[in-house]
């Protein structure tokens, strides 16, 4: 038997350990992320036993972040980014300034050099892309105003960190911190800053002018070939190729390059299919990202410097939370929006680690400060899902007690008022299957209400009529409530995802025990799953296809008998 290469050993070891500890965490009703991080600690160099290759694990994690940012870009158009720029740009700038100042204050109290305190505080100021997106995607917030503000805020932070990573060597030389580095003048520093801004601006302009036309055209051309394998390869090639090219040619981060690649691909009508094709890889590499973080963690720092770690955690979880909350409320946004964004940003991640590593190599950050940063990052990542759970519970209690958690400026995509329709059919999903169901329903003259997450898909219905539309995820109780199930004649669940369909069926059955619920399935296991959750009838695609083929063959007089 051949010995496993470091790459294979790292992938297999990371995924197996992540599954094992993730399953335990889920069993104990803890955040699954805790299991992934623990798997990394077990596979890391600071614990006995198996030790994975940390360098390879980090590169695999970078792939995960690239694919994740690409997926976000697919759902985030230029119009969306411009719609939230008024709050995202000043909000991110002020919050980063507050967190950096608090980090410098902690460094001053500990007697650290000014440059070390600055780098430490800057690393505390930027939130993790993976953690934030995982949290808002799980709660179906990506297509809401809250989600768009959070993602826009994150993009601004990423842009700031791109500039910081490029400028930090110049700042190190200017301060004379790097061993043997000559002192730089303000004029030289200004040239570096201007050159960096110019490269980032050039990349963005190139993507908006050329990429916006070229990427959708390439995707459409490949789709016409009829090869799903080639289409999947094209999506991955565009995502990874643009990310790599952005980093090599423009010194832009992989993550930002992938985000713009996804945003340009989102202009294509095939963007939904592109997102589905990359989803399995995104999930797998996102797991490896959390494993890689756990591998960097040295548990000994908790015993050596517990109070410093606690202070750093308070800056991340409390300081950043309060700063974001005050900023969002100052812009007149709803209380629920302010809380959601504040909780989303109360953690740090991948850019913090990159900045810390660069700071150590330049002599701006000590090894102790780096270990404190890693410990605080892991604690914040573990605490963040618990903050979201607490927020969800508070929102449910507030809504039950009729406390106004949504006031001032309503979210653009918040659940709509309850429909006034009666005896109507509620159709969930307006994809290829949903559209065909809609056409059949419309011929009956029955009132129709369509629920769909993709606003672009249902825009023709809003413009030309034919049905009421609720934009949102039907797995959310608030969205289902807007459909007025109490007065509905039937619910048709046409979404392909069995887990999402199951949530919808279960929620609808709990709200209306006598409602006629029809759902679609792709396997016999899905049929049993949906039926057990309360579906009145489940349509199994292959079974219906077989029945139609049989009936069509029997209609032909010359057809041979079928047994």
Give CB contacts under 8 A, 24+ apart, made by 406-410: 406/334, 406/335, 406/336, 406/337, 407/334, 407/335, 408/332, 408/333, 408/334, 409/332, 409/333, 409/334, 410/334
- Evaluate whether residue 521 is within a structural domain: yes
Asked whether the beta carbons of 493 and 517 are under 8 A apart, the reply is yes
In a shared domain, residues 386 and 435:
no
Residue 493 to residue 452: CA distance in whole angstroms: 11
Structure tokens at 495: 């979404």
- Evaluate whether residue 362 is within a structural domain: yes
Q: What is the CATH number of the domain that holds 262?
A: 1.20.1530.20
- Evaluate whether residue 415 is within a structural domain: no
Give the domain-ending residue among 367, 400, 433: 400
Asked whether the beta carbons of 252 and 200 are under 8 A apart, the reply is yes
Number of domains in the chain: 2
Residue 89 to residue 153: CA distance in whole angstroms: 7
Candidate from 218-222, 383-387, 423-427, 554-558 with smallest mean pLDDT:
554-558
Tell whether the model's pLDDT for residue 407 goes beyond 50: no
In a shared domain, residues 144 and 245:
yes
In a shared domain, residues 296 and 380:
yes
Look at 141 and 487; give whichever has higher pLDDT: 487
> Quick one: three-class SS letters along 281-342?
HHHHHHHHHHHHHHHHCCCCHHHHCHHHHHHHHHHHHHHHHHHHHHHHHHCCCCHHHHHHHH
- Mean per-residue pLDDT over the chain, rounded: 79
- Evaluate whether residue 406 is within a structural domain: no
In a shared domain, residues 271 and 378:
yes
User: How much is the pLDDT for 105?
Assistant: 94
In a shared domain, residues 227 and 304:
yes
Asked whether the beta carbons of 344 and 135 are under 8 A apart, the reply is yes
Per mean pLDDT, which of 118-127, 268-277, 364-373, 431-440 is the most reliable? 118-127
- Evaluate whether residue 407 is within a structural domain: no
User: How much is the pLDDT for 19?
Assistant: 93
- Evaluate whether residue 221 is within a structural domain: yes
Tell whether the model's pLDDT for residue 408 goes beyond 60: no
The 10s digit of each residue's pLDDT in 344-384 is 889 887 778 778 877 887 788 888 888 888 888 888 888 88
Tell whether the model's pLDDT for residue 157 goes beyond 90: no
User: How much is the pLDDT for 87?
Assistant: 86
User: How much is the pLDDT for 291?
Assistant: 86
In a shared domain, residues 498 and 451:
yes
In a shared domain, residues 448 and 366:
no
In a shared domain, residues 334 and 440:
no
Tell whether the model's pLDDT for residue 131 goes beyond 70: yes
Name the residue range of residue 481's domain. Answer: 425-555
Residue 539 to residue 523: CA distance in whole angstroms: 10
Q: What share of the chain is helix, strand, coil (3-state, %, to 5)?
A: 70, 5, 25
Tell whether the model's pLDDT for residue 406 goes beyond 50: no
Q: What percent of the chain has pLDDT over 90?
A: 9
The 10s digit of each residue's pLDDT in 87-113 is 888 888 899 999 999 999 999 999 888
Residue 242 to residue 207: CA distance in whole angstroms: 9
The 10s digit of each residue's pLDDT in 465-498 is 778 888 777 776 767 888 888 889 999 998 877 7
Residue 175 to residue 368: CA distance in whole angstroms: 21
Look at 402 and 168; give whichever has higher pLDDT: 168
Give the domain-ending residue among 359, 383, 400: 400
Q: What is the CATH number of the domain that holds 515?
A: 3.40.50.720
In a shared domain, residues 381 and 456:
no
Candidate from 47-56, 297-306, 396-405 with smallest mean pLDDT:
396-405
In a shared domain, residues 115 and 199:
yes
Identify the H or E element spanning 34: helix 32-43
- Evaluate whether residue 420 is within a structural domain: no
- Evaluate whether residue 464 is within a structural domain: yes
User: How much is the pLDDT for 104?
Assistant: 92
Residue 450: beta bridge partners?
427, 469
Q: What percent of the chain has pLDDT over 70?
A: 85
The 10s digit of each residue's pLDDT in 198-251 is 887 888 888 888 888 888 888 888 877 777 788 888 888 888 888 888 888 887
pLDDT confidence band for 34 (50 / 70 / 90): confident
In a shared domain, residues 376 and 449:
no
In a shared domain, residues 52 and 121:
yes
Give the domain-ending residue among 348, 365, 400: 400
Tell whether the model's pLDDT for residue 181 goes beyond 60: no
pLDDT confidence band for 180 (50 / 70 / 90): very low
Residue 389 to residue 404: CA distance in whole angstroms: 20
Asked whether the beta carbons of 157 and 131 are under 8 A apart, the reply is no
């Amino acid at each position: 038997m051949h010995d496993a290469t470091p790459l294979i050993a790292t992938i297999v070891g990371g995924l197996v350990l992540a599954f094992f500890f993730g399953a335990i965490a889920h069993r104990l009703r803890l955040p699954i992320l805790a299991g992934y991080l623990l798997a990394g600690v077990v596979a890391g160099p600071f614990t006995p036993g198996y030790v994975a290759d940390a360098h390879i694990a980090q590169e695999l994690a970078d792939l995960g972040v690239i694919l994740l940012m690409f997926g976000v870009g697919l759902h985030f158009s230029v119009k969306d980014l411009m719609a939230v720029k008024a709050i995202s740009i000043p909000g991110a700038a002020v919050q980063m300034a507050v967190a950096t100042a608090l980090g410098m204050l902690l460094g001053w109290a500990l007697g650290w050099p000014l440059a070390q305190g600055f780098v430490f505080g800057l690393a505390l100021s930027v939130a993790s892309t993976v953690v934030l997106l995982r949290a808002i995607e799980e709660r179906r917030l990506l297509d809401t105003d809250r989600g768009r503000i959070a993602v826009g805020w994150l993009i601004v932070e990423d842009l700031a960190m791109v500039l910081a990573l490029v400028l930090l060597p110049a700042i190190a030389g200017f301060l004379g911190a790097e061993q043997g580095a000559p002192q730089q003048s303000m004029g030289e520093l200004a040239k570096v800053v201007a050159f960096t801004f110019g490269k980032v601006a050039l990349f963005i302009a190139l993507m908006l002018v050329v990429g916006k036309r070229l990427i959708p055209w390439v995707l459409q051309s490949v789709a016409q070939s009829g090869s799903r394998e080639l289409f999947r390869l094209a999506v991955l090639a565009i995502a990874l190729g643009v990310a790599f090219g952005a980093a090599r040619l423009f010194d832009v981060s992989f993550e930002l390059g992938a985000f713009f690649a996804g945003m340009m691909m989102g202009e294509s009508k095939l963007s939904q299919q592109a997102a589905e094709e990359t989803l399995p890889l995104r999930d797998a590499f996102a797991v490896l990202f959390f494993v890689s973080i756990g591998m960097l963690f040295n548990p000994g720092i908790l015993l050596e410097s517990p109070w410093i770690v606690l202070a750093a955690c308070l800056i991340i979880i409390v300081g950043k939370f309060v700063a974001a909350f005050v900023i969002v409320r100052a812009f007149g946004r709803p209380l629920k929006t302010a809380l959601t964004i504040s909780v989303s940003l109360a953690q740090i991640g991948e850019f913090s680690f990159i900045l810390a590593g660069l700071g150590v190599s330049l002599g701006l950050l000590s090894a102790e400060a780096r270990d404190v940063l890693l410990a605080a990052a892991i604690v914040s990542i573990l605490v963040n899902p618990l903050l979201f759970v607490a927020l969800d519970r508070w929102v449910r209690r507030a809504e039950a007690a009729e406390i106004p958690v949504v006031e001032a400026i309503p979210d653009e995509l918040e659940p709509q008022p309850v429909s006034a329709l009666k005896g109507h059919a509620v159709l969930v999903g307006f994809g290829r299957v949903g559209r065909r169901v809609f056409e059949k329903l419309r011929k009956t003259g029955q009132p129709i209400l369509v629920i769909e997450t993709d606003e672009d898909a249902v825009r023709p219905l809003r413009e030309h009529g034919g049905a009421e539309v609720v934009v949102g995820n039907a797995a959310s109780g608030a969205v289902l409530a807007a459909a007025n199930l109490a007065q509905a004649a039937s619910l048709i669940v046409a979404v392909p995802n069995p887990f999402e369909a199951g949530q919808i069926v279960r929620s609808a059955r709990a709200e209306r025990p006598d409602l006629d619920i029809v759902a679609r399935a792709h396997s016999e296991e899905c049929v049993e799953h949906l039926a057990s959750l309360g579906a009145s009838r489940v349509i199994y695609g292959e079974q219906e296809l077989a029945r139609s083929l049989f009936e069509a063959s029997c209609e032909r007089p010359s057809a041979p008998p079928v047994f």
